[in-house]
Amino acid sequence: MQINPIKGDIYGGITAAVIALPLALAFGVASGAGAVAGLYGAVILGFFASLFGGTNTQISGPTGPMTVVTASAVTYFAGDIDAVMMVILLAGIFQIVFGIIKLGQFVRFIPYPVISGFMSGIGVIIILLEINPFVGTDGIGSVLKTLYHLPETLTQINFAALSLASVALAIMFFTPKKIARLIPPPLLALVVATTISVVLQLEVKTVGEIPLQLPDFKIPSINWHDLHKLEHIFSLAFTLALLGVIDTLLTSLVADSITKTKHKPNKELIGQGIGNSLVALVGGVAGAGATMRTVINIKSGGTTRLSGMIHAVTLLLIILFFAPIAAQIPLSVLAGILVKVGIDIIDYRFLKVIRKSPKIDMLIMLVVFALTVLVNLIIAVGVGIVLAAILTVYRVTRESNIDIQEHHKKDVIINNDKIRTININGAFFFGSSAIFEQRVSKVLDVDCLVINCLNVPFMDVTAVFTLQEIITKIKDNKIKIALILKPRHEKKVKDLIDKQTLKDVMICQTVKDCPLYQSY
């Protein structure tokens, strides 16, 4: 029996909200902006990204990558909440611009080792940053500082908090599937561990008061003359926007594979941008498309954008009516939930085959992973993409082959002239043009030279200009020259090389048409 689409959306949205609640609280606390900020981010982004986005079943809210960058902003602009919200506001505006200029369609070209290293790095960052809250001490918004102070942290363990975190983590790991179908493990961990804390009256840090009201809208105010601060605001905003693009569109691809539909990437970016911009106006935590919540929504019957909006409204009702209960949630319980989230984010699929994968791919993954954890997220992605591009050029260049063919009187005769043919096989571009130039420079002891480009799949501007320099050098040596080019390459050559250089150069489209060849 087919489920009514509206009923499916209602059930999917409510189920996604139940799962989103503990995660929104946890990500809010982890960001340093507070549990309320996580809830507001989930509500506002969840509603408006669904309303304006391009993935019907997408559930949006605070996610691991976005929380890590937000935490960096909170740490850097300590006490300056307006600067943090300006970062989120600008990130949303950047995302809208990305959608307008149709950047979304290019995300699928990011190499998998880059994504793998980045996601695994994010997972490790979340785990490391939750060490302190897990054992009941104050969190530190830096991986290196957390590791540096780890010996000191271990001497200040709150064993009540550690016990609650361990219970939450155990529930996340070991909840039987039959129970998990009825009650999501994050919610079960939240309820059980919080109940233990309240009943036993354990002395642990809790979420604290959550206001029973709608958030106030406020435009962030900053000093536009402080260039140093502006530089960091724009840098963090761009990082946040770019990570949101990657995080969201990867989730959209997961949704497509389950629903057998096709999302609109650029529309989705505009929806995410609108949502994150509005999140900044209510003091919320930035977010993106959330994979686990999206999958749960789909599996629970969600089929349209209505499910995402219902998820947001449900979360809002929870804030308004159950805030006093949520205020008693121990921070260590949220840390236990997030540790499991961090473990799940790590890309085990690639790790399982990393030893069997090409060494170049393994190198890219490890470099991106190390930079993500120890340096900077945007630097990690940027270096990974550049490194992948350089190594791809190297691979393609190795596949390119330049074959030099000698002609003798027994098979070809052209007025007793000595002929040599240079066959270029493979891509003729900036990666292989230097090798081509070196090879040609060494074989100019002939009367006639034929450059055969029929086996060249593509030719870039660098290759054409290299060809121009070679033609000039050949003509200076009083050597007759012929080019055999595909029609599209011929047009490119004639468009980019001046007529004077091409004067006396024989250009043809087949070997048989080349006037320098004359068979017996």
pLDDT at 446: 85
Does residue 513 form part of some domain? no
Q: Which residues contact 375 (CB under 8 A, 6 or more apart)?
A: none
Q: For the CA atoms of 485, 490, 493, 498, what is the dihedral angle to 10 degrees?
A: 120
pLDDT digits (tens, 9 = 90+) for 284-315: 999 999 887 888 888 778 889 999 999 999 98
Q: Which residues contact 519 (CB under 8 A, 6 or more apart)?
A: 411, 412
Question: Taking a C-beta distance cutoff of 8 angstroms, is the pair 21, 271 a contact?
Answer: no
Does residue 357 form part of some domain? yes
Does residue 514 form part of some domain? no
pLDDT digits (tens, 9 = 90+) for 476-495: 888 889 999 999 999 999 99
Per-residue confidence at 413, pLDDT binned at 50, 70, 90? Answer: very low
Per-residue confidence at 34, pLDDT binned at 50, 70, 90? Answer: confident
Does residue 396 form part of some domain? no
pLDDT at 275: 96
pLDDT at 216: 77
Same domain membership, residue 262 and residue 219: yes
Same domain membership, residue 427 and residue 374: no
Per-residue confidence at 337, pLDDT binned at 50, 70, 90? Answer: confident
* Mean pLDDT, residues 244-251: 87
Q: Where are the alpha helices (DSSP H) in 183-330?
A: 185-200, 227-259, 265-281, 291-299, 305-326
Strands (E), 316-377: none
**Consecutive H or E run containing 60:** strand 60-61
Q: In what order do the strands lie in the sheet with 448-455?
A: 401-407, 419-425, 448-455, 480-484, 506-508
Same domain membership, residue 127 and residue 216: yes
Residue 399: is its pLDDT beyond 80?
A: no
The percentage of residues in the chain with a pLDDT greater than 70, rounded to a whole number, is 95
Q: Which residues contact 182 (CB under 8 A, 6 or more apart)?
A: none
User: Shortest CA distance to 57 belongs to which of 386, 352, 309?
Assistant: 309
Same domain membership, residue 52 and residue 26: yes
pLDDT at 217: 83
For 312-326, 399-413, 469-483, which range has the lowest pLDDT when averaged over its residues? 399-413
Residue 4: is its pLDDT beyond 70?
A: no
Residue 10: is its pLDDT beyond 70?
A: yes
Does residue 519 form part of some domain? no
User: Shortest CA distance to 271 belongs to which of 53, 95, 42?
Assistant: 53
pLDDT digits (tens, 9 = 90+) for 256-278: 878 888 889 999 999 999 999 99
pLDDT digits (tens, 9 = 90+) for 200-209: 999 998 887 7
Give Cα separations from 59 to 44, 151, 266, 354 (angstroms): 12, 39, 17, 31
Residue 407: is its pLDDT beyond 80?
A: no
Same domain membership, residue 387 and residue 486: no
pLDDT at 417: 63
Same domain membership, residue 65 and residue 10: yes
Same domain membership, residue 345 and residue 233: yes
pTM of this prediction? 0.74
Domain final position from 391, 414, 443? 391
Q: Which two tokens stand for residue 288?
A: 């993106």
Domain final position from 391, 414, 440? 391
The chain-wide mean pLDDT, for the chain, equals: 85
Give me the phi and psi of 246, to 5 degrees please: -65, -50
Does residue 516 form part of some domain? no
Domain final position from 366, 391, 416? 391
Question: Taking a C-beta distance cutoff of 8 angstroms, is the pair 37, 74 a contact?
Answer: no
Same domain membership, residue 365 and residue 414: no
Give me the phi and psi of 506, to 5 degrees please: -85, 120
The CATH number of residue 459's host domain is: 3.30.750.24
* Mean pLDDT, residues 129-154: 86
Same domain membership, residue 377 and residue 442: no
For 43-57, 221-235, 390-404, 441-455, which range has the lowest pLDDT when averaged over its residues? 390-404
Structural domain count of the chain: 2
Residue 409: is its pLDDT beyond 80?
A: no
Does residue 410 form part of some domain? yes
pLDDT at 408: 53
Domain boundaries, position 485: 401-508
Does residue 52 form part of some domain? yes
pLDDT digits (tens, 9 = 90+) for 353-374: 888 888 888 898 999 899 988 8
Residue 411: is its pLDDT beyond 50?
A: no
For 108-122, 202-216, 404-418, which range has the lowest pLDDT when averaged over its residues? 404-418
Same domain membership, residue 385 and residue 351: yes
Same domain membership, residue 382 and residue 500: no
pLDDT digits (tens, 9 = 90+) for 70-98: 988 888 888 888 999 999 999 999 999 99
Same domain membership, residue 162 and residue 298: yes
